[in-house]
Amino acid sequence: MKVVIIEDEKLSAEHLSLMLNKIDQDIEVVKYIDTVKGAVVSFQEGLEADLIFLDIHLADGNSFEIFTHIEIDLPIIFTTAFDNYAIQAFKQNSVDYLLKPISLQDLKIAMEKFNKMQHKLNKQLIADISIAYQQVNKQYKNRFLVNKGRAIDYIPVADICYFETKESLSFLVNAKGVKYPVNYTLDHLETILSPQEFFRINRKVIIKINAIEKVDTYFNSRLIITSLHLTGDERIVSRERVQDFKKWLDT
């Protein structure tokens, strides 16, 4: 079996190669590559292999940049030093990974997974891991510009309780209950606010986690929230969002 190791740390690449040889002496490392550019050029020139070990961070950038230049239709085992949050994202997308420093036992397990799944659609796996990486590293808004009379000010996300929409207008509501119009729809706000901190409980409200004081069951399989400044039906978690809301609270 022919293997390519894309890794910018020489010692790590050599260590991986030695362990692969211990697992199976028929494994041949046909090429070591340490840069995004080198990987792109090598595969454009026709480099062939049965399996790629791909480090996330390379000498000249992020390894996911490779897939923006060329299409690689080969099984990949990712190597990473990411924290647990990132690793969870990889697990959810069914991508094999090795957490550095790589142990022989972990490598054996990864190779067993490779042998079982090498006939699956690797293109989709690559797409999924790329999306997961983008989600993990996405930069969310940390403040919003608002008008205070003639003055322009900003409200830090830390001071926001929730966002609401009324008569096609969106408002930011701060900890003091003051409302400021913002030029975003709730749909757009969902894409620029951290999903760890904010959740859209119904069509009209996106609430921040630490603005929730209490959650109670409500009729028709819904939930109702106690939160400063939030009143009426706007406090109700719609039935279709209840399960996701519970998962969000439990994250």
Per-residue pLDDT reduced to its tens digit, 80-90:
776 554 555 45
Q: Which of 112, 137, 162 is the last residue of a domain?
A: 137
199 Cβ neighbours under 8 A, 6+ residues apart: 206, 207, 209, 244, 245, 248
Residues 48-74: b if buried by 16+ CB within 10 A, e if exposed = ebebbbbbbebeeeebbebbeeeebeb
The CATH number assigned to the domain holding 101 equals 3.40.50.2300
Task: For residues 130 and 161, state if they share a domain.
Answer: no
Task: For residues 132 and 228, state if they share a domain.
Answer: no
Task: For residues 16 and 95, state if they share a domain.
Answer: yes
Measure CA 64 to chain center.
13
Task: For residues 113 and 154, state if they share a domain.
Answer: no
Question: How large is the average pLDDT for residues 193-200?
Answer: 93
Task: For residues 17 and 102, state if they share a domain.
Answer: yes
Task: For residues 210 and 103, state if they share a domain.
Answer: no
The pLDDT mean for the chain works out to: 87
Residues 230-250: b if buried by 16+ CB within 10 A, e if exposed = beeebbbbbeebbeebeebee
Task: For residues 95 and 172, state if they share a domain.
Answer: no
Question: How large is the average pLDDT for residues 9-13?
Answer: 92
Give the DSSP letter of residue 230.
Answer: -
**In the chain, what percentage of residues exceed pLDDT 90?**
60
Q: Which of 102, 137, 172 is the last residue of a domain?
A: 137
Question: Taking the complete model, does pTM exceed 0.75, yes or no?
Answer: no
Task: For residues 131 and 150, state if they share a domain.
Answer: no
Q: Which of 93, 112, 137 is the last residue of a domain?
A: 137
Task: For residues 27 and 115, state if they share a domain.
Answer: yes
Give the DSSP letter of residue 47.
Answer: -
pLDDT in tens, 110-166: 898 888 776 555 566 666 666 666 666 667 898 999 998 889 999 999 999 999 999
What pLDDT is stored for residue 226 in this prediction? 96
- Under 8 Å between Cβ of 50 and 2: yes
Sign of CA dihedral 199, 202, 205, 209: negative
**pLDDT above 90 for 101:** no
DSSP H/E element including 131: helix 122-137
The total number of structural domains in the chain stands at: 2
Task: For residues 125 and 221, state if they share a domain.
Answer: no
Task: For residues 123 and 177, state if they share a domain.
Answer: no
Query: Residue 189's domain spans which residues?
Result: 143-249
Beta bridge partners of 62: 57
